[in-house]
């Protein structure tokens, strides 16, 4: 069985925008927090090794990959991206994967990819952005890693709709603090790990609080988030690592032909005892798998 059809199994659990230019730079050891003077806000980690760009999933932000990026040092220097409508990046009027990929491409072309293509890692929604980025801007992408998502439309979005509704139900103008926010969220979300992940989006501002994520747009655009755009026959003929969680149903056997039709040099790795948040549930396995893929000799 050739590499494109190999299924490797490893032993392996979840965790309105600020104005551009409002976030000053700061240096924290090997971490450089960039300014948000452009549509896409980023955080750089490390200063040596192969360049790697991380794209987070729904409700996330670039810093969700901070520990993964640190663990990849010194073999990799990383750029953690806040995708549009998340973190400190720009809010948009609609949700389109093509537009998101183009905004990321612009940021990369004038930054970390100015001197050549980079490796891109995307999880869930960010995995779809990463795939579209590679198909639309192949000159910017060397190797691609797609984490627990397929280039398909549909699938169950009920859980995400519930979580968005739970966040929207919290009146941030009356919050006394994060503890109260957690108590209110617990009325709808039982898992404390999930609540902790979601509450990373809560930020103090002017004596009250606000959500970093554009909750209204994300709730209204859930069908688009669950979709995948037409690719116009484009393919990406570079090495692609496709990582699936054993306990997740976002990557299924029937997705294989479509994935390999768009990305013919795909290797599928299924991580045991992991759900959708593979990198959070099995970080050591994820890092070792990713490191081996990113630093492997060209083939």
Give the residue numbers marked as catalytic.
124, 216, 276
Do the Cβ atoms of 62 and 54 come closer than 8 Å? yes
In the three-class reduction of DSSP (H, G, I as helix; E, B as strand; rest coil), residue 287 is classed as: helix
Task: Give the helix ranges, DSSP H, for the chain.
Answer: 66-71, 97-109, 125-136, 158-168, 178-186, 192-198, 215-220, 222-225, 256-262, 278-281, 283-295
Do the Cβ atoms of 57 and 127 come closer than 8 Å? yes
Burial of 192 (0-12, 13-18, 19+ CB in 10 A): exposed
What is the β-pairing status of strands 202-205 and 141-147?
Answer: unpaired
């Amino acid at each position: 069985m050739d590499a494109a059809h190999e299924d490797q199994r490893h032993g392996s659990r979840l965790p309105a925008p600020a104005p551009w230019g409002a976030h000053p730079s700061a240096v924290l050891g090997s971490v450089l927090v960039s300014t948000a003077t452009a549509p896409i806000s980023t955080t750089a980690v490390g200063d040596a090794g192969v360049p790697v760009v991380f794209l987070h999933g729904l409700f996330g932000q670039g810093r969700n990959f901070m520990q993964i990026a640190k663990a990849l040092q010194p073999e990799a220097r990383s750029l953690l991206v806040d995708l549009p409508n998340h973190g400190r990046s720009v809010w948009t009027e609609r949700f389109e994967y093509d537009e998101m990929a183009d905004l990321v491409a612009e940021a990369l072309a004038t930054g970390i990819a100015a001197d050549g293509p980079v490796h891109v890692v995307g999880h869930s929604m960010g995995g779809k952005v990463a795939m579209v980025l590679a198909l639309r801007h192949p000159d910017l992408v060397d190797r691609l890693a797609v984490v627990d998502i397929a280039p398909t439309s549909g699938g169950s979005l009920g859980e995400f709709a519930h979580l968005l509704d739970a966040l929207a139900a919290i009146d941030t103008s009356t919050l006394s603090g994060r503890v109260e926010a957690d108590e209110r969220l617990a009325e709808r979300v039982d898992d404390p790990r999930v609540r902790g992940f979601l509450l990373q989006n809560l930020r103090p501002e002017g004596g009250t609080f606000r959500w970093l994520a554009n909750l209204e747009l994300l709730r209204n655009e859930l069908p688009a988030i669950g979709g995948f755009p037409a690719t116009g026959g484009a393919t990406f003929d570079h090495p692609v690592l496709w990582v699936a969680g054993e306990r997740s149903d976002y990557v299924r056997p029937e997705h294989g032909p479509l994935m390999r039709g768009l990305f013919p040099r795909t290797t599928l790795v299924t991580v045991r005892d992991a759900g959708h948040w593979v990198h959070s549930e099995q970080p050591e396995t994820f890092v070792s798998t990713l490191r081996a893929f990113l630093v492997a000799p060209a083939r």
